[in-house]
């Protein structure tokens, strides 16, 4: 599967064991105390994630999928576990994090999450973004891995009714991914996950990048 056609691709051996171990070593205590299953603004809370997310290697990887210079949009560290085992219905990631609210056509509605401004941008912004879901553990059906609908990113920003209709008419692909691999995807690709039937640690570092230039002096958060 290629990102241009299907909206996703799985890259094995994307991350070194040493970098994964440094992230887990720094963040795991806070993850275990987290009730919501994930930590937003992870690049601002953990040095190891900041170093990886802003590294020349990571930015170069992002730019290979974008039309220009890559900038980090946001970083989230997820942990699906026996204590925090959840499901996510079919959806698109269609909000972005920015430094300040601004007025521009097609932007909104606006909200604040963990003190950071978020908004739904125009489709052209989502099309100039790429997401890396870096697996810090093996991800499989037993522990609630991601499912995607190939090509759904090409259908634009969808309503809930459209999402429901596409889900019923499509065959989902289950992303069983080994530790250290990365699922590279467009944010508005339809994706979902089920609860783990035999839940174990399923830690995933979610990094979003964009080459879109923001208006009004705003920066990507």
pLDDT in tens, 123-177: 999 999 999 999 999 999 999 999 999 999 999 999 999 999 999 999 999 999 9
Predicted confidence (pLDDT) at residue 216 exceeds the cutoff of 80: no
Is the pLDDT at 76 greater than 80? The verdict is: yes
Inform me whether the pLDDT recorded for 179 exceeds 80.
yes
Burial state string for 80-105 with b = 16 or more CB within 10 A and e = fewer than 16: bbeebbbeeebebbebbbbeeeeeee
| CATH fold of the domain at 8-92+128-209 | Jelly Rolls (2.60.120)
Instruction: Please state, in angstroms and rounded to a whole number, the distance separating the CA atoms of residues 146 and 165.
Output: 19
Total count of residues recorded for the chain = 221
CA distances from 60 to 116, 133, 181 (A): 26, 16, 17
Average pLDDT over residues 97-122: 92
Rounded to whole angstroms, the Cα distance separating 129 from 74 reads 11
The predicted pLDDT at position 70 comes to: 97
Q: Residue 2: which pLDDT band, with cuts at 50, 70 and 90?
A: confident
Q: Which of 209, 212, 187 is nearest to 61 (CA)?
A: 209
Handedness of CA 150, 156, 159, 165 (dihedral sign): negative
Q: Which residues contact 113 (CB under 8 A, 6 or more apart)?
A: 40, 97
Read off the pTM. Answer: 0.96
Average pLDDT for residues 81-108, to the nearest whole number? Answer: 93
pLDDT at 1: 64
Q: CA 205, CA 35: separation in Å to the nearest integer?
A: 17
What pLDDT does 35 receive?
72
What does pLDDT average to over the chain? 94
Q: Which residues pair with 135 in a beta bridge?
A: 204
């Amino acid at each position: 599967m290629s990102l241009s056609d299907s909206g996703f691709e799985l890259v094995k051996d994307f991350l070194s064991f040493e970098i994964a171990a440094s992230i887990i070593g720094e963040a795991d205590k806070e993850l275990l105390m987290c009730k919501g299953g994930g930590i937003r603004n992870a690049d601002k809370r953990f040095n190891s994630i900041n170093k990886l997310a802003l590294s020349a290697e990571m930015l170069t990887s992002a730019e290979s999928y974008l039309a220009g210079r890559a900038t980090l949009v946001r970083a989230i560290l997820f942990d699906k576990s026996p204590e925090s085992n959840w499901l996510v219905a079919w959806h698109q990631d269609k909000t972005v994090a920015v430094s300040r609210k601004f007025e521009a056509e097609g932007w909104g509605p606006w909200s604040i999450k963990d003190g950071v401004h978020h908004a739904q941008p125009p489709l052209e912004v989502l099309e100039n973004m790429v997401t890396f879901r870096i697996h810090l553990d093996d991800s499989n059906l037993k522990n609630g891995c991601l499912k995607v609908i190939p090509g759904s990113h090409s259908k634009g920003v969808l309503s809930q009714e459209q999402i429901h209709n596409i889900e019923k008419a499509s065959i989902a692909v289950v992303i069983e991914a080994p530790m250290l691999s990365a699922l590279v995807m467009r944010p508005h690709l339809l994706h979902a996950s089920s609860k783990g039937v035999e839940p174990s640690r399923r830690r995933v570092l979610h990094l979003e990048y964009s080459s879109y230039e923001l208006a009004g002096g705003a920066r990507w958060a």
